[in-house]
Amino acid sequence: MIIKALYSPGSVPMEKTEDGFYAQNPFFVVADGVSGAYLPDNGPRVIDRKTGGRMATDAVLAEFAGAKINDSLENVIKKANRYIRRKQSGIPEKNSELLSGTSFSALKIRHEEIDILQAGDCLAFALTKDGKIIATKNQLFLNDTEDRMIVKKLMIKHKGDRNVTWKEYLPMFSATRRQRINDLGDDAGFGLLNGQRKFETCMQKIVIPREKADRLLLVSDGFYYYPESHDEKSLGKRMFELYEKGGLDEILAYNRSKEEIEKSETHIDHGEATAIMIEL
């Protein structure tokens, strides 16, 4: 087994980074923290001297690091969810827009099977020995496609001023997050590991026979070109092809080149990007 990992902060200041990963067989996870809604002038809510998104990511990594070999992948995630809830007990559970959490993609390699769990816009891919692609869906695709259109229009309206754009956008952002987080009954709903009890019904689950798997890939949203995630199998095929050409650096370079073209229309130049590749 060969394990490779890559992290890039992009243009995010180090004190605001919220991605993380854990890669120690049999457990692997990529997490992308999301702080509760906030205005740029105020900054994100601080919990234990960390941003809320950083706290959530670190909680996930700590649970994976402390997991025993016989622990199920689902129970490790649920333990992290309960911890995150305790850290935000002062925020009503119904106010999902204010709760910090994390998207994640995770897997456990067992003797005969590989368990995969995912929520949000971190993604998991598997390349089988016969060349097939198995992939989780981007739960946030519809929501974020809508968000990106709104931000693009506001950036044009405010002549590229990201602070002014965010101030006008925040009420809309908060309303949709309150409606859609951990509610898959909404067409644009998505899972977020944020301490809500209903999160536990919003994870995507995949089980793959170990003997059929050749390569496994976990990525945060900064590691792929977002519009291409509408077709997760085509996206996975492209990413494995890029990896064959030049490793994880090649995948990241491809995405950064796409981001460079669009940065004048987005809230950030280059986001954080995290990936783990496992060659079985």
Digit-coded pLDDT (tens) for 228-270: 999 999 999 999 999 999 999 999 999 999 988 776 555 556 7
Average of per-residue pLDDT values in the chain:
94
Q: What is the mean pLDDT of residues 172-184?
A: 93
Is residue 84 within 8 A of residue 13, CB to CB? The reply is no
Residue 263 has a pLDDT of 64
- What does the pLDDT look like over 69-119, one tens digit per residue? 999 999 999 999 999 999 999 999 999 999 999 999 999 999 999 999 999
The domain covering 2-279 belongs, at the CATH homologous superfamily level, to PPM-type phosphatase domain (3.60.40.10)
Structure tokens at 227: 């519009």
Residue 42 has a pLDDT of 84
- What does the pLDDT look like over 195-221, one tens digit per residue? 999 999 999 999 999 999 999 999 999
Under 8 Å CB-to-CB from 206, ≥6 apart: which residues?
115, 116, 118, 124, 126, 134, 136
Query: What ranges in 20-109 are assigned the alpha helix state H?
Result: 52-66, 73-87
Residue 5 has a pLDDT of 98
- What does the pLDDT look like over 54-72, one tens digit per residue? 999 999 999 999 999 999 9
CB pairs under 8 A, 24+ apart, for 47-54? 47/87, 47/88, 47/100, 48/87, 51/16, 51/18, 51/100, 52/88, 52/99, 52/100, 52/101, 53/18, 53/100, 53/101, 53/102, 54/17, 54/18
How far apart CA 276 and CA 44 sit, in angstroms, is 28
- What does the pLDDT look like over 153-168, one tens digit per residue? 999 999 888 889 988 9
Residue 268 has a pLDDT of 58
How far apart CA 210 and CA 72 sit, in angstroms, is 16
- Enter the pTM of the model: 0.93
Q: What is the mean pLDDT of residues 142-156?
A: 89
Residue 267 has a pLDDT of 54
Report which listed range, 5-9, 35-39, 146-150, 259-263, is most confident: 5-9
